[in-house]
Amino acid sequence: MRSLLLLLFLLSSLQFSMAQTYSISGTITNMAGQQPAPKAEVLLAEKGQMVKADGQGHYLFQDLPAGTYTLTAFSYGLGSLTQQVTITNANVTLHFGLKPLEGVLKEVKVKGERARDLGISRLRSVEESAIYEGKKSEVIMMSEVTANLATNNSRQVFAKVAGLNIWESDGAGLQLGIGGRGLSPNRTSNFNTRQNGYDISADALGYPESYYTPPTEALDRIEVVRGAASLQYGTQFGGMLNFVMKEAPEDKPFELVSRQTGGSFGLFSSFNSIGGKKGKFHYYSFYQYKRGDGWRSNSGFDVHTAYGNVHYQPTEDLEIKLDYTYMNYLAQQPGGLTDAAFSQNPRQSLRDRNWFEVKWNLIALSLDYRFNDRTKLNIRNFGLLSERNALGYLEKINRPDPMQERLLLKDKFRNFGNETRLIHRYTLLGNSSTLLVGTRYYHGFTDQKQGNGSAGSGPDFRYYPYNNNPSISDYDYPSRNLSVFTENIFNITDKFSLTPGVRYEWIRTKAEGRYDIVNKDQAGNVLYEERVPESRSSTRGLVLFGLGVSYKQNDHLEIYGNISQNYRAINFNDMRVVNANIRIDPNLNDEKGYSADLGVRGGIADLVNFDVSLFTLVYDNRLGLKPQKDEVLFTNYLLRTNIGKSRNRGVETFAEADILKLLYGKEHRTGLSIFSNVTLVEAKYLIEENVFKDKKVELAPSLIAKTGLSLKRDQFKLSYQYAYTSEQFTDATNSVSEPTAVFGKIPAYWVMDLSGSYTYKRFTLETGINNLTDNRYFTRRATAYPGPGIIPSDARNLYVTLQFKL
């Protein structure tokens, strides 16, 4: 309690030396008729900030120090206009009169921050080379997030995104685990996960798990699109998740940002970035080093992450971008706990020989070419050269470690792909429409080996007896994917639009290799040994359809809806066999289904923001393990097959309002916003077999609720958050508990966080407390790494960050 009072006193005492700030406001009108310009926006170049004008054409920028600023106004169907203004010691009024431009919206390139909308906004109908009309989306503006960014605290970062179930498997934020609408959070595998628009998961088709998570200190924003993203982004049920990196400042050739963070349990993080613009070149690069001991014993980590980005713009219409990302980390895994051990002491560790290593290399080369104001081409080429190594004793957690050879799993990923998009605006029946056509080619290759590793305790990632010959399995998993897709926004009126879409997928997945069968007696003597070769292949083609609907009553209110088919291709984990007690159905089918949304959203920039929607997610051909009996040997086994259908449906609500600015006006210096984020989910299996009948879908809590307060005055920010997640099951049979703790119930839990920051000239101080009330809870029961068993979440911890910006 004394720590909390000290923190509050420190943060509140900082606000007495705040600098004077001013505002720029005015109107945007159509010069031809002197009417408010429709759907008008203004870009403040020096800050990269964009705001929308209201229905009367009024706009407002706040909290600006004295200086010279460049503003660009633009509107649908009108040209753009740039003006410069200087603030000395008073607020400034600046008006724009825009000329008609033959019904075409000239795209204005926005770098940096868009309109804040209280820290979370939505994707526009058309963003660069993508269409989001009628789709449920959220955009998290990282500049407005007050949180523990050094540890990628996803509970705070994603607080305002409705319906996300979050796994907290490590306190360092090394791997992101989020799932939405009752889908598994396991390594975010139910989202198509991207960085700057290109894939970053291990194998987007064959193994869509994310071992690399971009540091939140390097992010400009996070874009989230729900299930309707399947038409543009392919294989997933959860939607698309895109991490957008910061870019170079537009107004200077060099900028340095250095952030140093210290925290509980030995946390130290050093994040340093440089960026700038010189002539036709932009560049941005960062390096982060992070280490810590972890709350539990045997949970230390050491992380290196680096990123470099170069933009070359030889002409106004052509831009070429090159990205490279490197990440290397080594983490000790403390293992899981049984229910009894967790109740006794959740901080204890029953495994001290488990290690996890990841080496990640990503490269991307993209090209943007504007043929004219109506037509734009985007080409993305991307590749992945990475590996992950897992070493440890993975038997049931209620068995002691015999200190013998550990299990070693080594995966290597070699992937590359291309995505090409053409977007074209045209006039149809007097209204502007937008057409998107695209193709995607993806070549995935994964080499996966499993066998006996070292009998020691350290991170020795070699096979025993060090002949690189794994004793359990050795597989290659090549995959190919070719897609063609199109969507079109038909603006039936200036308020009502239809957006149909279609996507064709050609998929080929293979599993080629062998597995070993070794049967031993209780003394460890080998009774039977066999090496079994295996080769499996599956080729198929499918078509997905979707339709989006949008009705915009005005700039502050929209009713939207969509329905889109989804699918999940069977991956190599579904095709391989390493256990004689599990058999694979040779006729496995891709999991198919659809998702639908119907909602209403809107608000007033920086004052009110809301989104309330109903959703349904139908998941057919769901893969699972089904009890079977061998008709010849009369032995029992588990069959991995398509067990049937499930349905998730519910309501997602989000609302936020700045109370003080609503009462006293936008120009009020102090902002106090309150947000509420509540999701109700009913997720159950629609299967008549007794073992699955009327069972709830695993990892689908019925209630996820978050609420919080944010106080802002000039350069001072303070944020409080409360998060609640109801109980959930971890398997399809809804078991409550079992001795190994691999399956069972995850009890309901709640947690609070408090964070604050203050900026003075070139320095920013950030500090906070996570898990304010020091609760003991867990969000995951692991079947393998990092368990097996219960993975406790971190106890109360503090952090302090000092940032210097040059």
DSSP string, 189-210: TTEEEEETTEE-SSBTTTB---
Percent of the chain at pLDDT exceeding 90: 54
Q: Which residues pair with 365 in a beta bridge?
A: 322, 381
Residues 6+ apart with CB under 8 A from 412: 386, 387, 446, 447, 448
* Euclidean distance between CA atoms 716 and 695, whole angstroms: 49
Q: What is the tens place of the pLDDT at every residue in 542-589?
A: 999 999 999 998 878 999 999 999 888 777 666 665 544 557 777 777
Angle subtended at Cα 194 by Cα 193 and Cα 195, rounded to the nearest 5 degrees: 145
Q: What is the tens place of the pLDDT at every residue in 424-433?
A: 998 888 788 9
- Quick one: pLDDT at residue 199? 93
Strands 137-141 and 219-225: antiparallel
- Which pLDDT band holds residue 612 (cuts at 50, 70, 90)? very high
Please provide the distance, in angstroms rounded to a whole number, between the alpha carbons at the two ends of the chain. Answer: 37
* Tokens 């000790």 sit on residue: 332
Percent of the chain at pLDDT exceeding 70: 90
C-alpha distances out from residue 263 to 17, 288, 330, 430, 797, Å: 26, 16, 19, 60, 7
- Which pLDDT band holds residue 57 (cuts at 50, 70, 90)? confident
Residue 176 sits at φ, ψ, to 5 deg, of -85, 135
**Lowest mean pLDDT segment, chosen from 257-261, 328-332, 425-429, 478-482:** 425-429
Q: Enumerate domains of the chain plus CATH numbers.
A: 244-805 (2.40.170.20)
C-alpha distances out from residue 418 to 98, 319, 466, 481, Å: 39, 17, 38, 11
Residue 194 in contact with residue 200, Cβ under 8 Å?
A: yes
Residues 6+ apart with CB under 8 A from 344: none
* Alpha-carbon torsion (251, 256, 262, 265), positive or negative: positive
Residues 6+ apart with CB under 8 A from 275: 246, 247, 248, 249, 254, 255, 282, 283, 284, 285
- Which pLDDT band holds residue 172 (cuts at 50, 70, 90)? confident
Per DSSP, helices labelled H in 555-631 are: 572-575
C-alpha distances out from residue 569 to 482, 502, 508, 577, 671, Å: 13, 18, 9, 18, 47
* pLDDT, average across residues 112-137: 80
Concatenating the DSSP letter of every residue in 351-389 gives -SS-EEEEEEEEEEEEEEEESSSSEEEEEEEEEEEEEEE
Q: Which of the listed ranges 75-84, 286-295, 547-556 does the model predict with the highest average pLDDT?
A: 286-295
* pLDDT, average across residues 736-749: 88
Query: With 50 as the cut, is the pLDDT of residue 14 above it?
Result: no
* Euclidean distance between CA atoms 164 and 705, whole angstroms: 10
**Residue 5 falls in which region: left (phi positive, over 0), alpha (psi -120 to 50) or beta:** alpha
Q: What is the tens place of the pLDDT at every residue in 262-276?
A: 999 999 999 999 999
Residues 6+ apart with CB under 8 A from 463: 408, 449, 451, 452, 453, 469, 470, 471
- Quick one: pLDDT at residue 101? 55
Residue 720 in contact with residue 737, Cβ under 8 Å?
A: no
Q: In 3D, which of 119, 66, 68 has the Cα closest to residue 91?
A: 66
- Quick one: pLDDT at residue 111? 42
* Euclidean distance between CA atoms 570 and 585, whole angstroms: 12
* pLDDT, average across residues 625-629: 65
Residue 773 in contact with residue 800, Cβ under 8 Å?
A: no
- Which pLDDT band holds residue 38 (cuts at 50, 70, 90)? confident
> In whole angstroms, how large is the CA radius of gyration of the chain?
27
Q: Which residues pair with 507 in a beta bridge?
A: 481, 540
- Which pLDDT band holds residue 395 (cuts at 50, 70, 90)? confident
3-class DSSP state of 438: strand
Strands 22-30 and 96-98: parallel
* Tokens 């943060």 sit on residue: 11
Query: With 80 as the cut, is the pLDDT of residue 524 above it?
Result: no
H or E stretch at 330: strand 318-332
Q: Which residues pair with 718 in a beta bridge?
A: 711, 756
- Quick one: pLDDT at residue 466? 62
Q: Which residues pair with 731 in a beta bridge?
A: none
- Quick one: pLDDT at residue 596? 95
* Euclidean distance between CA atoms 194 and 241, whole angstroms: 6
- Quick one: pLDDT at residue 706? 96
- Quick one: pLDDT at residue 390? 92
- Which pLDDT band holds residue 352 (cuts at 50, 70, 90)? very high
Query: With 60 as the cut, is the pLDDT of residue 327 above it?
Result: yes
Q: What is the tens place of the pLDDT at every residue in 177-235?
A: 999 898 889 888 889 999 999 999 888 877 788 899 999 999 999 999 988 888 899 87
* Tokens 């008006």 sit on residue: 95
* Euclidean distance between CA atoms 730 and 479, whole angstroms: 30
Q: What is the DSSP letter of 390?
A: E
Query: With 70 as the cut, is the pLDDT of residue 103 above it?
Result: no
Residue 158 in contact with residue 166, Cβ under 8 Å?
A: yes
**Lowest mean pLDDT segment, chosen from 333-347, 395-409, 495-509:** 395-409
Concatenating the DSSP letter of every residue in 157-172 gives HTTTSTTEEE----TT
- Quick one: pLDDT at residue 44? 84
Query: With 50 as the cut, is the pLDDT of residue 8 above it?
Result: no
* Euclidean distance between CA atoms 20 and 594, whole angstroms: 53
- Which pLDDT band holds residue 759 (cuts at 50, 70, 90)? very high
Question: Would you state the torsion angle of the CA atoms of residues 550, 554, 558, 564, taken in this order, to the nearest 10 degrees?
Answer: 20
Query: With 50 as the cut, is the pLDDT of residue 478 above it?
Result: yes
Q: Give yes or no for a cis peptide into 465 (omega within 30° of 0).
A: yes
Query: With 70 as the cut, is the pLDDT of residue 257 above it?
Result: yes
- Quick one: pLDDT at residue 107? 42
Q: What is the tens place of the pLDDT at every residue in 696-711?
A: 988 999 999 999 999 9
- Quick one: pLDDT at residue 373? 79
What is the average pLDDT value for the chain, to the nearest integer? Answer: 87
Q: What is the 3-state secondary structure (H, E, C) of 744-790?
A: CEECCEEEEEEEEEEEECCEEEEEEEECCCCCCCEEEEECCCCCCEE
H or E stretch at 449: strand 431-452
Beta strands in 581-729 (DSSP E): 582-584, 591-604, 608-629, 636-658, 670-685, 703-713, 716-725, 728-729
3-class DSSP state of 230: helix
